[in-house]
Amino acid sequence: MIRGMCSPLAHRACSTLLLALFVSAASLVAQQQPLTLETALTRGATLLRPSTRVVWSPTGHGGALILAPEQGPGFALRLDDSMAAKEPLFSASDLRRATGVVSIYGKRLPPWSFVDDDTIRFEHEAVLYHWQLPGNARTRRKAARMLHWPAGSQRTIAPGDGHAAYLHDGDLWLTSSGGDRRRLTHDGSADIVYCGAAHRAEFGITTGWFWSPSGRYLAFSREDLRPIAPYPYQDLGAIPPRPVHGRYPMAGRAHSRVTIGVCDATTGATHWLEHDPAADVYWTNLAVRDDGAVFVVHVNRGQDHLELVRYEPDGKKGPVLLREFDAEWIEPEHPVTFLPAGELLWWSSRDGYRHLYALGPDGKVRRQLTKGEFDVQRLIALGDEALWFEASGDDPRERHVFTAALDGSGQEQLTSLRGCHRATVSADLEFAHITWSSVESPPSSYFVELDSRDPIQQVAQKHPITDYRLPEHRFFDVQTKTGDKLHGEVYLPPGRQPDQRHPVLLYVYGGPHAQLVKNEFSTARGLWLQALAAEGYVVCRLDNRGTPNRGIEFEQRIFRRLGTVEVDDQLLAVKWLKQQPFVDPDRIAVHGWSFGGYMTLRLMLLAPETFACGISGAPVTDWAMYETGYTERYMDTPDENPEGYELSSCLPLAGELQRPLLLVHGTDDRTVMWSHTLRFVEQCIEHGTDLEYLPYPGQLHGLRGNHRADFLRRLRRFLHRHLGAPTAAEAATNK
């Protein structure tokens, strides 16, 4: 049964969920304003800003609904037992009064969470505050300062807020709610890095500190970068330019050494996990149990073998609980999660798809909890009898919410509407808040009662993007010679004439870990592609073999030969495009960034007469110059696979370039070194090959601010020059 949701902003009954909750394609027809690249660059973030979200209480199913900024000054509404938002909870101005800091956050709410139903926590200027909410008898108190640390320091806060750890001048410190401070390390430097995302942030590593669930124990990483050869970074903005110390681990060469420390926050005592200083292994996916035991996933340098190891509370190496092997590569990205009765939740692609398993305390697989020809993408919540997760289901372009029993007795898909769903679940596991969108419908959100599966309508919202006339969208499929189905999509100029042929931009990434073709609404950062389509271009994207969420075999098609099968697949998209009545086959361009920049070069060099022009951003040009963990996973080392490295390099092909190319790169790129582009430019000079080259001063791997806007405007001018600007007939429908 669908129940209405009332609030100070809306009070109306709902009829059916599909009609009242979601914005359909029909509601977009009446858009009046043309969408342009300038609109995307100047207003994109406001047009597609997230709408409402929910912050759950740590107990029960209480919580708060956070309204989107365009609905007025930032404030939160309390949710009642039926998920109705009936009363204001607090506002940004309340926080200013509570802290006595006039400038705090302006009109927006800071990131915050509940301590209990009547108290929230938030941070400001290196202080963690607790504040009792309006409506409580003690609400007139100022917010209490619970923890503080030096301004500008990276920090992590323990569960329960009893302690915080922070980095100061490279070393790790611990502070308590009582004000005590302890220095835990004494050798931090540019070459000895504590608590960073070790191993170049591969294997799902995003941080270097890990708390036990109770907040008593803190495990932390120490990464020794000194085995890595120095790299000649420069500060080109200085007068004169000055060298900047740094290191970069290239494929086949020495990389860092990682060790793990564990601190008992109640005493400050620290010990180090037992390790072999000579072992060339990756330390990944740490989890700390409340007794101080640490679970680590070790991956060998060749990345075809992992071991799940338990280290005892005193740091001694315990048993190897589990081993997994894969002849191509193995890439664990999730630590174990602790289940009842000492069991462990484990992620594995052992059956061909990424699924969840229950391991016994001894590491033996007891049950497979999720099954199907899809990859589990996210664990949402975990209870005593069931878990909730997100996965694509039967269509890899979608994302749905599922539940599975912990006894292995079955699973159920909870969402069915076509598109992508993302969920959060209340502490008592009775309700979920689900955000949904599709290519035609901007994000909407609603609640679901998990036992009955009954949806509950939320406040209707108007997205500013619906004031603009958006491109028409179509999915398409092509098939490889090996029988793999590849999913693609095109954005077509709105209101186009059936007999009108348009210029095309093939936007490509094509590398691991990135799926472009999804049945979800565009992000603000991708709105510029829709703007180009609205201005008269056909914009095409395709997910080739090697991209994620299609099972491990599909991903591993690229092993030891990057830039080969991916090119074949993208050319299938071009073949399909040339068969369409809305495409001008002589006016097709290609563009990509990073791996997509590499793919742009590969496509233009291996199919030199296919594209009218190309724009390559920050490309890898020779995999022997890229970082160890990523490159060796897919290519092995240069000594092990010299033919593959030669085959995958763009440098020997520089003389094959026939069509106009714009090549851009940030001069301070720390991911794909600027030298990749410099070497390719040098090869073009050697071969007498013409190209346009633009370095962006001081920019990192992704362009930001004015540099990004300059590049996108420059890209459009380059397309106009070499494809011809869309004609009046091609662009008139967006007026």
For the ranges 122-136, 308-322, 532-546, the lowest mean pLDDT is seen at 122-136
Domains 149-335 and 472-734 in one fold = no
For the ranges 30-44, 171-185, 347-361, 522-536, the lowest mean pLDDT is seen at 30-44
pTM over 0.85: yes
In CATH terms, 149-335 corresponds, of 2.140.10.30, 3.90.1150.10, 2.40.50.140, 3.40.50.10150, to: 2.140.10.30
C-alpha 316, offset from chain centre = 35
pLDDT band with cut points at 50, 70 and 90 for residue 92: confident
Query: What pLDDT does residue 72 have?
Result: 52
Mean pLDDT calculated for residue range 348-367: 97
For residue 148, give the H/E element and its range. strand 144-148
182-229 pLDDT, tens per residue?
999 999 999 999 999 999 999 999 999 999 999 999 999 999 999 999
Query: What pLDDT does residue 138 have?
Result: 47
Domain ranges of the chain: 149-335, 472-734
For the ranges 74-78, 183-187, 549-553, the lowest mean pLDDT is seen at 74-78
Asked if pLDDT for residue 627 goes beyond 70, the answer is yes
Distance of alpha carbon 312 from alpha carbon 297, whole angstroms: 14
How much is the mean pLDDT over the chain?
Answer: 91
DSSP one-letter string for 496-529: --TT--EEEEEE---STT-----SSPPPSTTHHH
Q: Using alpha carbons only, what angle is made at residue 312 by residues 380 and 266, rounded to the nearest 5 degrees?
A: 80
Asked if pLDDT for residue 101 goes beyond 80, the answer is no
Query: What pLDDT does residue 346 have?
Result: 98
Query: What pLDDT does residue 115 have?
Result: 96
Asked if pLDDT for residue 631 goes beyond 70, the answer is yes
Mean pLDDT calculated for residue range 64-79: 74
Query: What pLDDT does residue 102 have?
Result: 60
pLDDT band with cut points at 50, 70 and 90 for residue 70: low
Query: What pLDDT does residue 28 have?
Result: 42
For the ranges 4-18, 91-105, 199-213, 643-657, the lowest mean pLDDT is seen at 4-18
Tokens of 75: 């404030």
Q: Using alpha carbons only, what angle is made at residue 706 by residues 702 and 708, rounded to the nearest 5 degrees?
A: 35
Query: What pLDDT does residue 552 have?
Result: 98
Mean pLDDT calculated for residue range 140-148: 88
SS (HEC) of 578-616:
HCCCCEEEEEEEEEEECHHHHHHHHHHHHCCCCCCEEEE
289-302 pLDDT, tens per residue?
999 999 999 999 99
Mean pLDDT calculated for residue range 668-673: 98
Query: What pLDDT does residue 24 have?
Result: 44
More confident residue, 315 or 92: 315
Tokens of 648: 């995958």
Distance of alpha carbon 1 from alpha carbon 479, whole angstroms: 43
Mean pLDDT calculated for residue range 337-356: 96
Query: What pLDDT does residue 287 have?
Result: 98
Active site residues: 594, 669, 701
Give the distance between the most distant pair of CA atoms in the chain. Answer: 79
- Please return the burial class of 656, using the count of CB atoms within 10 Å of its CB with bins 0-12, 13-18 and 19+: middle
Provide the CATH number for the domain formed by 472-734 in this structure. Answer: 3.40.50.1820
Asked if pLDDT for residue 733 goes beyond 70, the answer is no
Mean pLDDT calculated for residue range 593-604: 98
Query: What pLDDT does residue 294 have?
Result: 98
DSSP one-letter string for 462-493: --GGGGEEPPEEEEEEEE-TT--EEEEEEEE-
Asked if pLDDT for residue 32 goes beyond 80, the answer is no
Query: What pLDDT does residue 489 have?
Result: 98
Three-state secondary structure call for residue 368: strand
Tokens of 733: 């429908």
Three-state secondary structure call for residue 568: helix
Three-state secondary structure call for residue 721: helix
User: How big, in percent rounded to 5, are the helix, strand and coil portions of the chain?
Assistant: 20, 35, 45
CB count, 10 Å around CB of 324? 17
CA dihedral 100, 103, 109, 110 (to 10 degrees): -90
Asked if pLDDT for residue 388 goes beyond 80, the answer is yes
